[in-house]
């Protein structure tokens, strides 16, 4: 599987702006062929150890069944619309793609 993690730092870091991006992620990015896991959320303010990277406002996690599903997702209209509608408020976007294995534990 391919895990696509995206960390957004916003220009407008207000709670309303964060909520708008969370909603846009849910609206445009969750239902695509090959997606086996989707989640989106915010920085946990109480976790503030030296190793915690705190330079983001919204974290997006999408796991695809394979690389082909990821590559197709990159060019679908909903993904492109998400970028177009939201990029003006992005101060920084960091993408971490990794090959993963596993599944639910328990």
- Per the prediction, the chain carries an average pLDDT of 95
CATH match for 2-45+55-96 among 3.30.70.100, 2.160.10.10, 2.60.120.10, 3.10.50.40 = 3.30.70.100
Bridge partners, residue 6, by sequence: 60, 95
Q: pLDDT-derived band of residue 30, with 50, 70 and 90 as boundaries?
A: very high
pLDDT at 54: 84
Is pLDDT of 93 > 90?
yes
Least confident of 22-31, 44-53, 57-66: 44-53
Chain centre distance of CA 96: 10
Question: Terminal CA-to-CA distance of the chain, rounded, Å?
Answer: 20
pTM of the model: 0.93
pLDDT at 65: 96
Average pLDDT over residues 37-62: 92
Element (H, E) at 63: strand 58-64
- Break the chain into its structural domains and give their ranges: 2-45+55-96
């Amino acid at each position: 599987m391919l895990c696509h993690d995206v960390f957004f730092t916003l220009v407008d870091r207000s709670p309303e702006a964060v909520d708008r991006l969370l909603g846009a992620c849910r609206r445009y990015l969750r239902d695509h062929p090959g997606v086996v896991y989707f989640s989106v959320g915010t920085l946990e303010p109480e976790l503030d150890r030296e190793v915690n990277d705190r330079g983001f406002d919204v974290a997006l996690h999408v796991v695809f069944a394979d690389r082909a599903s990821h590559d197709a997702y990159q060019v679908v209209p909903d993904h492109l619309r998400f970028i177009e509608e939201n990029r003006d408020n992005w101060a920084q976007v960091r993408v971490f793609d990794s090959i993963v294995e596993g599944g639910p534990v328990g």
